[in-house]
Amino acid sequence: MRKKIVAANWKMNLTLNEGAELVNEIFKGLPVLNEEKKVVIAPPYLHIVQTGEQLAGMIDVCLGAQNCHSETSGAYTGEVSAAMLKSAGVEYVILGHSERREYFKESDATVAKKVNQALVNEMQVIFCCGEPLEVRDAGTQNDYVESQVKAGLFHLSDEQLKNVVIAYEPIWAIGTGRVASTEQAQDMHAHIRGVIRAQYGDEAAGDMSILYGGSCKPTNAAELFSCADVDGGLIGGASLKAAEFLDIIEAMAAL
Ligand code: PGA
């Protein structure tokens, strides 16, 4: 069954107190969600235990992380392993975000190793892909995203793939206020689903949740989520304000 998901990526924002307050505000306005609809909150590492305690016992709001390390453990000063995240109650790990790929030089191969770490530790992966502006302008975005999906996921078994969610985030739309049109989003999401279908078959493709990310806001969420192949959103800026994030959750709840 294909899940609908709205995931908050707080990135490097909010102090502990601000994070706790934001979660409390979200709780106050949270609509009732049915079983196939989930909210994920991915705060910075430092918040994870605190946010996890706030979310304890909630079924439809899950704890997420924004990253994990590609190795199991060892001398990697400043890093956090997938097993540590699992031990703190993390259910979803965002991997391959374009900011990680660009600023931290994460290659496709590194992202694939991180995917393995998250899956071995029984967490769900939110696998990010998306093209930069020059690729979109050249019209080669489908090939670009396809190669990211293949490099990051195609080594997985059918069973492992069931624990993966894909987030399409065109880099030119992240934090820029420029949003993909519904047609651009739907076209790419259908393409990604086709790529999954060709490798894993109809059922796996039908069950794959594909989220849209990149300046998703209350003003455009309902329209984006109404696309046949858009199954929710990965939300950056608008997830830092309870009222905006709740409006986006409402747009998913109404589906
Ligand atoms: P944005 O970020 O909503 O601020 O564009 C999305 C993301 O990077 O996950």
Q: Is 109 exposed, middle or buried (0-12, 13-18, 19+ CB in 10 A)?
A: exposed
pLDDT on residue 219: 96
236 lines ligand 1 (CB under 6 A): yes
User: In this predicted structure, what is the pLDDT of residue 254?
Assistant: 92
Identify the residue whose tokens are 């900011």.
Answer: 99
Question: pLDDT over 90 for what percent of the chain?
Answer: 95
In the predicted model, is pLDDT for residue 217 greater than 90? yes
pLDDT tens figures, 47-84: 999 999 999 989 999 999 999 999 999 999 999 999 99
Residue 107, both tokens? 């290659």
What pLDDT does residue 35 have? 85
| 64 torsion bin: left (phi>0), alpha (psi -120 to 50), beta (else) | beta
pLDDT value, residue 23? 98
pLDDT tier at 126 (50, 70, 90 boundaries)?
very high
**215 close to ligand 1 (CB < 6 Angstrom):** yes
Separation between Cα atoms, residue 175 and residue 141, nearest integer Å: 19
DSSP state of 89: T
| 224-230 average pLDDT score | 97
pLDDT for 34: 87
Which residue from 114, 98, 93 is spatially nearest to 42, judged by alpha carbons? Answer: 93
**Ligand 1 mutation target, pool 127, 169, 219, most atoms within 8 A of CB:** 169
Local structure of 167: helix, strand or coil: strand
Tokens 């979200």, located at residue = 26
d(CA 72, CA 230): 33
Q: Is the CB of 235 under 6 A from ligand 1?
A: yes
- Average pLDDT over every residue of 233-246: 98
Which of the listed CATH numbers 3.30.70.1560, 3.20.20.70, 3.30.565.10, 3.40.50.720 matches domain 4-253?
3.20.20.70
> Which segment of 104-113, 178-187, 244-253 scores lowest on mean pLDDT?
178-187
What CA–CA distance (Å, rounded) separates 200 from 96?
A: 21
The rounded distance, in Å, linking the Cα atoms of 128 and 189 is: 12
Cα–ligand 1 centroid distance for 41 (angstroms): 13
Residues 6 or more apart whose Cβ sits within 8 Å of residue 247 = 218, 221
The Å distance, Cα 239 to ligand 1 centre, comes to 9
Residue 91 in this model has a pLDDT that exceeds 90: yes
SS3 38: strand
> Which distant-in-sequence residues (6+ apart) come within 8 Å of 178 by Cβ?
172, 214, 215
Domain locations in the chain as residue ranges:
4-253
d(CA 124, CA 162): 9
Exposure string over 45-65, b if 16+ CB within 10 A, otherwise e: bebbebbbebbeeeebbbbbb
Mean pLDDT within 117-136? 97
Cα(165) to ligand 1 centroid in Å equals 16
